[in-house]
Structure 1
């Protein structure tokens, strides 16, 4: 009797890859993973200073609300595509089936590198913020002296702690998929329960809360651009950095049962749940903000930490902050895990030097351990930059959202552009008549917000406050395209499915050489 496991492996075979990883993720661990990779309880406090500094409390509230709606459009469009081709490559692999064959190598090369760079910058940035949070907690519990704390972390301390955290995350990501399932299934419940508990505690413990009018209507121009409207737009950095990496769940497709169905469901459920909880947290923080200028200038280095400290004192604030750190650590593990699977998929298609080594699956854990430590090494290299230049490291982290989102809409746009030439075979999850409108909204939004996120956040512009993200983006683009023209275009052919495609012995399917017809028959 055929089982879901058999169907999963048969579908992967028709797509063009052998089943090398163990499918141990269930429906609940997949949803938990999707929620944890967004990790709002950790990410909202980590980025809360940006919207309130740029445009005040109302900017933080409404940027999150509107940004979450736009994130839902992008996530839905991504879900429809990866449902048809559930592989560890995610949107990178889908490129093969939405562009003409002669354009597959260059399209998949660009999308793959954008996705890998975005994933790596995201994972390293989360480890860096966890380090900042832990040191902020240490600062909160040090002896207070005037306008500062006795302990003030240095750039070197922050970077060294982030490296240690990356190594711990790497060890966890090296475990078997069965153990990862057992660990990750608890990420979402802890995230959701802790979020509600902290919101209640802050609202009860904060003595002087702001009025609803202040929270929902008080805008400022903290950017110096002379426009509250533009300062409002800069506030989208928080939600853009948090509500991305939608395809992180799809990178676990080859370790998930019934991935063509459960992956899209998990992605969309995570965006809805995280959007609602993130807005709840943002509104709560704004009610408990206290004096805006004093909170922004908090000696802890993080305004959210000061809000916790004001509400619960040293003990209560530390307890609440502990859960923020824990959830952000969960997010780091999830982000790193997605990045390692993307690296594995990219390497097995020959996109890296020594690809055969990086794509090797460990015979004992049945996980791509080599790609895990490749990603850890890349993340460490990025974080080391923080020792010499905080502006540069922030710029690198700022590239996360644009790089990932642009890699998504490139594939979405390609599907629309070549729809008359390429027959796209939909998977179980489809948007139907809403597909094209949602795709257009997703593309328009990402192009618009990417331009905004590359703007300097403060005027007058100096060498210190300049937004170097555009410089990093230009460097990555030049690097990837130079490598392509220097030699990769002669060796890299895109996803190498046809090299290993085969039909499971004993199946009733005919090997007629038409991969798309085989997939269509299976899904039908």
Structure 2
């Protein structure tokens, strides 16, 4: 089935006069006058419950970004291509550049707080002759990117579990098909949560934020107290190409910066949840900006601690678990059980990040389908009348992750290349 070019919703502004009376009691909850006016102006119909407030919205955005957790668990490409200095400076310039992107996204979300986000904003701001094409392309890039982000998060959770088995059992030989089964299990779990426990998502975000900030301190303190330290020169000035195969460390560092870019993405996740946020035109841009800012100190602090406490970059990237951070934890604590204890904390936080990323992804998919941008748009844009969530879009996200994970059985390199779409495609929508 072929998809049609993006068109604005068929919902007419004059229909808004009767919209309030047609909403059920669950959907009316949290739906303010400002929200009603915004939905009317954008030509959209309210279909979700608005159960997110400012703090839970900040929590949701921090959760999807998961900056220090994501950076800790997905820095292998940067250490391979660039080394410790390459990783540090890549994070610094990624933060500087992304800050201005976030400000722009926040401004546009205040004007049009809709789950469609980027493709909708382009349809409003692009020149008339390019509006449909650019909006359509942006919608597809955003869809592919967010679907890939969920797949990558599931991959991280599944393969970290496999890495912990390796750490605790030296006789265990990690198999790709086992990793794929773990990825599929994680995908099914987050799907069930997002459908049947969606109303508890704001509470879950509050729990995550608590863990996000309070788990940071024991991890950093344990590493600083117990781990051996490297020199400042090694951390800030030693660029290296640890088998990446690039002709010089400068080019290698540019290639490896995908880890840094991925760790600062995700601020626009809250824009895709805008139709579930009370007073979204005010709350969404503020949450987007503040969640980005408050994560900077913890991310830089964790990064410096991690790099100073890494005895050897080459040993870290070649660790049997496949994850350098597990090597650092094991070297610091001196035992597999100590490394496992620290890793389980990170694993629980990553599971919450994956749940929130799937929620944002399903809303983006739903919105693009609602505007006829995807195949099977009618099915994908259906909101379940009981749970008030885009259940079909959530199921589609699960299916996409499962299908993508099968590539890992044949080739991990090909699978990782597919997952790189999560960074490159999303950056393209920002541009």
* Residue matched to 1:506: none
Map residues 40-439 of structure 1 onto 2, 5 A cutoff: 40-142=67-169, 149-175=170-196, 177-206=198-227, 208-222=228-242, 223-312=244-333, 313-409=335-431
What is the CA–CA distance in structure 1 between the aligned matches of 2:377 and 2:88, rounded to whole Å?
Answer: 45
What is the CA–CA distance in structure 1 between the aligned matches of 2:314 and 2:241, rounded to whole Å?
Answer: 13
**Equivalent residues of 2:75, 2:259 under 8 A apart:** yes
Superimposed CA distance per residue, residues 311-335 of structure 1 (whole angstroms, 9 cap, x where no aligned partner): 1222221111011111211221111
What is the CA–CA distance in structure 1 between the aligned matches of 2:277 and 2:319, rounded to whole Å?
Answer: 44
Shift of 1:36: 0.8
**Equivalent residues of 1:24, 1:177 under 8 A apart:** no
Please list every run of 5 or more consecutive structure 1 residues that lacks an aligned counterpart in the other structure.
Answer: 143-148, 410-524
Q: CA-atom RMSD, angstroms?
A: 1.7
Q: Whose radius of gyration is greater, 1 or 2?
A: 1
What is the CA–CA distance in structure 1 between the aligned matches of 2:265 and 2:240, rounded to whole Å?
Answer: 27
Please list every run of 5 or more consecutive structure 2 residues that lacks an aligned counterpart in the other structure.
Answer: 1-29
What is the CA–CA distance in structure 1 between the aligned matches of 2:375 and 2:41, rounded to whole Å?
Answer: 27
Shift of 1:108: 1.4
TM-score, structure 2 as length reference: 0.89
TM-score, structure 1 as length reference: 0.74
CA shift in 2, pair 1:352/1:219, >3 Å: closer
Shift of 1:25: 0.4
Shift of 1:240: 1.0
CA shift in 2, pair 1:174/1:63, >3 Å: same
CA shift in 2, pair 1:260/1:311, >3 Å: same
231-240 or 370-379, larger mean C-alpha shift: 231-240
**Equivalent residues of 1:49, 1:304 under 8 A apart:** no
What is the CA–CA distance in structure 2 between the aligned matches of 1:175 and 1:8, rounded to whole Å?
Answer: 26
Shift of 1:276: 2.7
**Equivalent residues of 1:111, 1:407 under 8 A apart:** yes
Superimposed CA distance per residue, residues 33-74 of structure 1 (whole angstroms, 9 cap, x where no aligned partner): 111111124311222222222222222212112211111111
**Equivalent residues of 1:172, 1:333 under 8 A apart:** yes
Shift of 1:195: 1.7
Superimposed CA distance per residue, residues 349-386 of structure 1 (whole angstroms, 9 cap, x where no aligned partner): 11223312221111111111111101111121111111
What is the CA–CA distance in structure 2 between the aligned matches of 1:70 and 1:99, rounded to whole Å?
Answer: 23
What is the CA–CA distance in structure 1 between the aligned matches of 2:265 and 2:399, rounded to whole Å?
Answer: 23
What is the CA–CA distance in structure 2 between the aligned matches of 1:357 and 1:382, rounded to whole Å?
Answer: 21
What is the number of equivalent residue pairs in this alignment? 401
What is the CA–CA distance in structure 2 between the aligned matches of 1:23 and 1:239, rounded to whole Å?
Answer: 33
